[in-house]
Amino acid sequence: MAIIDYSREPHSDIAFVDMKSFYASVECVQRGLHPLKTSLCVMSRADNAGGLILASSPTFKEVFGKENVSRSGDLPFDIHSRKFRPNGQRVSQEYVAHIEKWAKRTLIVPPRMALYIEENLKIQKIFENFASEREIHPYSIDEGFLDLTTSLNYFIPDKTMDRREKLDLLSAKIQQEIWRATGIFSTVGMSDANPLLAKLALDNEAKKNKNMRALWSYEDVESKLWAIPKLTDFWGIGQRVAKRLEKLGIHSIRELACANPERLQREFGIMGLQLWFHAHGVDESNLARPYRPQSRGIGNSQVLPRDYVKIQEMEIVLSEMAEQVAIRLRRIHKKATVVSLHVGFSHREALKSINTSMKVRPTQSTRELTGHVLSLFRKKYRRGAVRRIGVRYGELVDEGQAIYSFFDDIEQMEKTEQLERAIDEIRDRFGYLAVQRASSLMEGSRVRERSKLIGGHCGGLDGIV
């Protein structure tokens, strides 16, 4: 086994801060309830049998054993009557009484994305009190890295304390400030080495500790990192990668660290080497210069509020989505050369989802892109109730690129482009609904409802109970 010389590796004081059950905690605080002791879940489309659980409080997870991103139909109780739903299993009367007691206490609320963003901005302001903007790297709406290397001695000048003690103390202060400003509890993974070890400390230890903090160093690689029980508990390893590793005889992080890096590179390419270094706790990323990959495509998807059985309704929604993504394409000054379509069927249908794509000449025209989307749909769709759709434009090129044929009416194409850009400007100034197609008034249209969403979910302040 190769030996890593950790003295030559980067050493930074990193805190990875995660808001505890963020969406659910915000909803609890808004109602004056304790985020860790209240049974609450944030559910999109609770009026629907397929309502999606976006977030849930720790108590909800403990009582009902459900994680986020599951369906209302998976719960052991009916969300309307709050009565026990057996789902085929045999249980005791005591269990039924327990479930129904908690079901009656449980709050089921709709998502309010505008509110969550507002709370996130408060938290970002707190981060800026402890680190400069370039030393803060948001990971998601409820998580973020802070590089505290340069500010550690400023906030804690005590020379009798080592940097590990200072990092823990400063992280505790950050937790307290977040709680004072928002009422939300946070968990912190720390490392005096790199961001990877901070993230692993959070996922594998901090969440279990009473103070909700944990610190991992290079010295902890063998005792803590290699002791992670499952491959999929390791950052960057999902089910598919884990299966490929197991085929190579690698079933643990320790075995991954002891594997031949050249063999891993042959199997996974550069990612294989990255996995090997990560298994040794090595991560040379710099938060002040985060890697931002170039976008290779943009898209959008949605779960329909009901099963769509009429082709006309399906095509209305597909056209609306094709237009919405085309607008985004023009905003980033790109053209698409690949159009992709996803159509998912109702869970009552025993039908395989449609996933198809086609190469097209560079375009950002709503008219052309909508035509391509509908063409793909008409070629592949045969039957079945549709519940999910997605449109994606890929292999993007600069908008200056164009390909014409002898049959193109260049003058008409330029007029269409000017019209679409004029409509874009009107919508940017007065809102998306300022200019709409007549089809938006037809049954099945989703454009009015989706224009009010943020991140695909309700953005308003409705739903307070």
One pLDDT digit (tens) per residue for the chain, 465 residues: 447 888 888 899 999 999 999 999 999 999 999 999 999 999 886 555 567 788 899 999 999 876 655 777 788 888 889 999 877 778 889 999 999 999 999 999 999 988 999 999 999 999 999 999 899 998 888 999 999 999 999 999 999 999 999 999 999 999 999 999 999 999 999 999 999 999 999 999 999 999 999 999 999 999 999 999 899 999 889 888 999 999 999 999 999 999 999 999 999 888 899 999 999 999 877 766 555 545 578 998 888 878 888 998 899 899 988 988 998 888 888 889 999 999 999 877 888 899 999 999 898 888 899 999 999 999 999 999 998 899 999 988 887 766 655 556 667 777 777 777 777 777 677 666 666 665 555 566 666 555 555 544 444 433 322
Active site residue 143: yes
| Element housing 334 (H / E) | strand 334-345
Nearest in space to 147 (alpha carbons), one of 134, 156, 157: 134
Q: Which long-range contacts (CB under 8 A, 24 or more apart) does 255-260 make?
A: 256/231, 257/1, 257/221, 257/226, 258/1
- Report the distance separating Cα 388 and Cα 345, nearest Å: 7
- Report the distance separating Cα 187 and Cα 18, nearest Å: 5
| Element housing 362 (H / E) | strand 354-363
CA within 13 Å, CB half, 379 = 13
What DSSP designation does 435 have? S
Question: Quick one: pLDDT at residue 402?
Answer: 63
Decide: 462 and 110 in contact? Cβ < 8 Å.
Answer: yes
Rg (CA), the chain: 26
Tokens of residue 233, six digits: 């508990």
- Report the distance separating Cα 391 and Cα 301, nearest Å: 6
Q: How, if at all, do strands 40-44 and 107-109 pair?
A: parallel
- Report the distance separating Cα 56 and Cα 267, nearest Å: 39
Residue 269 has phi, psi (to 5 degrees) of 75, -150
Decide: 192 and 201 in contact? Cβ < 8 Å.
Answer: no
Residue 349 has phi, psi (to 5 degrees) of -100, 135
Question: Quick one: pLDDT at residue 457?
Answer: 47
DSSP class per residue in 124-186: HHHHHTTS-GGGEEEEETTEEEEE-TTTHHHH---TTS-HHHHHHHHHHHHHHHHHHHHS--E
Decide: 56 and 21 in contact? Cβ < 8 Å.
Answer: yes
Decide: 151 and 167 in contact? Cβ < 8 Å.
Answer: no
- Report the distance separating Cα 50 and Cα 359, nearest Å: 34
Helices (H), 248-338: 253-258, 261-268, 270-279, 311-331
Question: Quick one: pLDDT at residue 456?
Answer: 47
Residues paired with 342 in a beta bridge? 355, 390
- Report the distance separating Cα 140 and Cα 128, nearest Å: 16
Residues 6+ apart with CB under 8 A from 222: none
Of the listed 27, 119, 135, 143, which one is catalytic? 143
- Report the distance separating Cα 195 and Cα 237, nearest Å: 16
Tokens of residue 144, six digits: 């973020």
- Report the distance separating Cα 394 and Cα 424, nearest Å: 21
Residues paired with 8 in a beta bridge? none
Residues 6+ apart with CB under 8 A from 385: 307, 308, 309, 345, 346, 348, 349
Question: Quick one: pLDDT at residue 429?
Answer: 73
- Report the distance separating Cα 358 and Cα 18, nearest Å: 40
Q: What end-to-end distance do the CA atoms of the chain give, in Å?
A: 59
